């Protein structure tokens, strides 16, 4: 069956004006001022979008799809991602990662979870590895994982400048970055390294040293949590000015903000004003734990990230920060697709995957979502849930 989205104000993410969008077999096949469904000899499902903005489905490129956490012991392990959480959040593509715990959670399970999410209706890829060195892999070799395990697109999230890091040397980081890069080149994938940044004073210095010591491009690296403190955020602005990608985390708690974390919506505004919005991505750190440590490094509190924070941050940047919709939307659509070489994602264009998010003009509330041409949410109601997900 074909899908026809009618009368939407289309942001691709650039503004295209009032358009209809026609999809077949999971891809967009036409975008035009008027498309008549009666013209086609096959059934056409019409999704009325009068009064709504149509954007690309959101890409949440840092999600602990198996669950995360565990810093407070086994009882603090967070639950797995469920499909309904993505649909409600307007997310049609996720990139899964392990995180702190690469022991009790395995790469084999991460691969299986990615395939499960695909079977349930959204797009999913993953990183090999976790916080520590040597990285967790499926095949025993990072380059082999990227080349031979289809959902694997790079290495991550590898921790640096953090008390939970394995404190790899610069030579170790360089070797892993080269393996990821060559694996990506040989397989046509991003081969990117997603770095978890902590609060240690080193900040982005290890990555700056890697770039300075050889011919590794800045775009080989995607540092995340760049908004976790003011100094790191300023570093990330400089990093982006020099052509690197920077990622800010949208899930947070008030204590983090009180202690100096830069709100993701504020980060979007400042990158836009600095002329570097095209180098910024936003991710939720969904299902990841949000641990609170005291001065001695003892865990004193814990909550969990959510993909629902992704659009909330973008929405706030638009409504309160004054960032144009087309510019703010890049951070969760076209820029992550470009950084991760997901050529069919992040845009509303002929030939692209039919991942379409509908939001209201007033308040920018999520009202509909299609993934690969299949309607997952309509008029604010979730139509599809995960296999074992309760209504």
- Residue 150's contacts (CB-CB under 8 Å, 6 or more residues apart) are none
- Residue 390's contacts (CB-CB under 8 Å, 6 or more residues apart) are none
Q: Is residue 101 flagged as an active site residue?
A: no
Rounded to 5°, angle at Cα 124 from 178 and 48: 135
- Which residues does residue 369 pair with via DSSP β-bridges, in sequence order? 357, 377
**Residue 370: both structure tokens together:** 């299609």
387 burial via Cβ count (<10 Å: 0-12, 13-18, 19+): exposed
Q: How far apart are CA 306 and CA 203, in angstroms?
A: 25
CA quadruple 104, 202, 127, 265: dihedral sign:
positive
Place of tokens 């799809």: 65
Catalytic residue among 285, 353, 355, 391: 285
Q: How far apart are CA 13 and CA 153, in angstroms?
A: 24
Give the residue numbers annotated as catalytic, written as ranges: 285
């Amino acid at each position: 069956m074909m899908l026809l989205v009618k009368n939407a104000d289309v942001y691709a993410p650039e503004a295209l004006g009032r358009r209809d969008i026609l999809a077949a077999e999971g891809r967009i096949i036409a975008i035009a001022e008027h498309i008549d469904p009666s013209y086609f000899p096959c059934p056409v499902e019409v999704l009325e979008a009068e009064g709504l903005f149509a954007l690309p489905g959101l890409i949440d490129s840092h999600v602990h799809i198996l669950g995360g956490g565990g810093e407070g012991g086994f009882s603090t392990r967070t639950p797995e991602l469920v499909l309904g959480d993505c649909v409600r959040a307007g997310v049609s593509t996720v990139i899964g990662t392990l995180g702190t715990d690469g022991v009790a959670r395995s790469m084999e399970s991460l691969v299986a979870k990615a395939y499960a999410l695909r079977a349930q209706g959204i797009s999913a890829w993953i990183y090999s590895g976790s916080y520590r060195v040597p990285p967790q892999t499926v095949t025993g070799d990072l380059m082999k994982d990227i080349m031979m395990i289809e959902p694997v697109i790079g290495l991550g999230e590898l921790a640096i400048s953090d008390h939970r890091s394995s404190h790899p040397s610069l030579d170790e980081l360089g070797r892993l970055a080269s393996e990821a890069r060559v694996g990506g080149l040989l397989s046509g994938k991003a081969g990117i390294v997603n770095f978890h940044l902590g609060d240690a004073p080193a900040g982005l210095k290890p990555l700056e040293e890697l770039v300075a010591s050889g011919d590794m491009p800045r775009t080989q690296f995607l540092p995340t949590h760049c908004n976790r403190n003011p100094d790191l955020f300023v570093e990330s602005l400089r990093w982006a000015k020099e052509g690197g990608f920077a990622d800010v985390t949208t899930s947070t708690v008030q204590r983090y903000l009180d202690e100096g974390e830069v709100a993701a919506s504020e980060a979007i505004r400042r990158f836009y004003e600095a002329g570097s919005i095209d180098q910024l991505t936003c991710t939720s750190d969904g299902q990841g734990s949000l641990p609170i440590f005291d001065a001695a490094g003892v865990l004193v509190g814990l909550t969990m990230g959510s993909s629902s924070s992704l659009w909330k941050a973008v929405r706030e940047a638009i409504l309160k920060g004054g960032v144009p919709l087309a510019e703010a939307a890049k951070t969760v659509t076209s820029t992550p697709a470009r950084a991760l070489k997901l050529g069919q994602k992040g845009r509303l264009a002929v030939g692209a995957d039919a991942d379409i998010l509908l939001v209201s003009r007033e308040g920018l509330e999520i009202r509909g979502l299609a993934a690969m041409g299949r309607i997952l949410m309509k008029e604010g109601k979730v139509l599809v849930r995960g296999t074992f997900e309760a209504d």
